[in-house]
Amino acid sequence: MADNCELCDALVLTRRWFEDDLCWIAECESCGVPMVVWRQHGVSPAVWEVEGMVARLQTVASEAFGTDDFFIDRTMRRIPDHFHAHARRPWRYPYLPARSQG
């Protein structure tokens, strides 16, 4: 856990769909889409951890959106030093590549 990292703090500020020892999934406070957050501070989870987090995010996003019309965006823009990923609808983010980065 890092000091002054809002993702490490893991405050429940928005809807929370899932949490376990690996990660938590909540509605992103900034963009309103499902976002998975690694419980460890850093940007280099093991491959199996990333795969597990992305799989959990895909399940939540399918339920939240009612479809599989989304892509996983692993670009960490606002908080670049803590692994997280968003499930985004392609029509809402036309400036981002509509491909899975999972």
Residue 79 lies in a domain: yes
Domain membership flag for residue 1: no
- Asked if residue 11 is part of any domain, the answer here is yes
Q: Which domain holds residue 17?
A: 6-88
- Say what the pTM is: 0.84
CATH number at residue 63: 3.30.428.10
Task: Please report the pLDDT score of residue 47 as a whole number.
Answer: 97
Any idea of the CA torsion for 46, 87, 27, 42, to the nearest 10 degrees? 20
Q: Is residue 36 part of a domain?
A: yes
Compute the half-sphere exposure of residue 56: CA atoms within 13 Å on the CB side of its CA.
23
d(CA 26, CA 46): 21
The pLDDT averaged over each successive group of 10 residues in the chain (102 residues) is 77 91 94 94 96 97 90 91 93 52 44
How much is the pLDDT for 49?
Answer: 98
Q: How many independent structural domains does the chain possess?
A: 1
Domain-embedded: residue 55: yes
Q: What is the pLDDT of residue 91?
A: 66
Q: Is 100 a member of any domain?
A: no
Question: Does 95 reside within a domain?
Answer: no
- pLDDT tens across 64-93, in order? 998 888 999 999 988 899 999 999 987 665
Task: Report if residue 14 sits inside a domain.
Answer: yes
Instruction: Please enumerate in sequence order all residues whose Cβ is within 8 A of that of 56, keeping only pairs 6 or more positions apart, or say none.
Output: 18, 23, 25, 36
